[in-house]
Amino acid sequence: MKRLLLLGVTVFLTQAEPALARDPPLPAYVVADGQTGVIIDSRLASQPRHPASLAKLMTVYLAFKAIGESQARWDTTIKVSAQAALQGGSVLGLRVGDSLTVEEAVMAVIARSANDAAVALAEYLGGSEAGFASRMTEQAKKLGLMATSFKNATGLSAQGQVTTAADMAGLAMALRRDFPADYARFASRSVSWKRQQLPNLNGFLGAFTGAEGLKTGFTCPAGYNLVAAAQRDGRRIIGVVLGARSKEERESLMAQNLSRAFRGGAPKEQAASLEKASLANSLPDLSGTVCAGGIVPGDSSGNAGTSSSYPSGWALELSFARQAGKAHRDLMVAQSRLGLGGQALVVRAPFSGDVRYRGLLAGLSEESAVKSCLNYRTKGGDCLVLNPQMLKGAFEEQRRLARFIARD
């Protein structure tokens, strides 16, 4: 665990504030004919935006493709890794060592936007989430989505992860065109999990007559996103909204756009002719508008670090890594070497403008924490002692970073 102390935490957060204070742009949108791809209406269609959980549409696309090419089966069992289990935001609640089928994972991603299921699926299909993300970007390019790049399977905000409204419309069309037999899964009103029927989180599915589903998404930088399709009187319309300021705005704007299109809006341009925005352009950041004061709307999920209650006592930081799974594994090894009890936790932390994972062993007495750390260092180990205030600060830090977690 070689790293600098987190002296740059305050700098990371304060430097971000000026960007958050700017007035966000209007929501970007595209309305397209679902049969021909003709653009009926659009605004800021080529402007780079954060995809948030809309990235999971490509995760699902690659899962459908793997099934179609016999690289996987719907009943194949997937084991849940530490990295998958430690995901925040919208989750199924998977634990390390749990198992689920490919079909259960896909449906959890579609209906529940489950980040843990998305990572488990990505690791199974791609060997690692990073490897799978590279395949997601490659597939985007094959589909002609040249302004889209993926860095993970969930939509968690990451440098270089970007899309446009035009590209998301193209992806929605590709899902129906390439996988007509599986496309109906997006219209599922619920998903079965552990003898429960969990409702689809996509509220637009039941609110708009003829809606066929697809995907919602939210992070604080992205704002509220939605890709939707609907069919009336034999005509199908696809809509995309990126960067709305609220759930109500994204659903209202989508409903207005689709309704206008069904009434007979005049085509304006072909999807293929839309000018592709440069990936070098800066992405709008809606954090200061939709998550003012670092508060994520409706965040009552109870995930670690989002609650006002914190582990008690002193703690040791025993690992620090780029990936949650590695931080967890290193933490388990260190705890075993120390022979200590306590509560093993992995929390997110800002680091040089990025995010890292801290492996903490909490619930210790001051004497036990200090003595164990000193003893561990004499044996060549690396550790950091956290008093109760520092431990609380670690969780407050993670709560602020929750604004970057993919949700719906």
CATH of domain 25-284: 3.40.710.10
pLDDT of residue 351: 82
Q: Is 157 a catalytic residue?
A: no
pLDDT along the chain (408 residues), means of 10: 36 34 80 94 96 98 98 97 90 94 98 97 96 97 98 93 97 98 96 93 96 96 97 96 96 97 68 41 85 68 44 93 88 93 88 83 95 94 95 85 78
Q: Is 56 a catalytic residue?
A: yes
Q: Thinking of the domain 9-13+296-404, which architecture would CATH place it in?
A: 2-Layer Sandwich (3.30)
pLDDT of residue 265: 60
Catalytic one of 42, 56, 151, 215 = 56
pLDDT of residue 294: 65
Catalytic one of 46, 113, 149, 287 = 113
Q: Where are the domains of the chain?
A: 9-13+296-404, 25-284
Q: What are phi and psi of 331, to 5 degrees?
A: -65, -45
pLDDT of residue 309: 61
Catalytic one of 42, 53, 149, 372 = 53
Q: Which residues contact 152 (CB under 8 A, 6 or more apart)?
A: 55, 119, 122, 129, 130, 133, 158, 161
pLDDT of residue 388: 94
pLDDT of residue 353: 66
pLDDT of residue 264: 86
pTM: 0.81
pLDDT of residue 278: 39
pLDDT of residue 10: 27
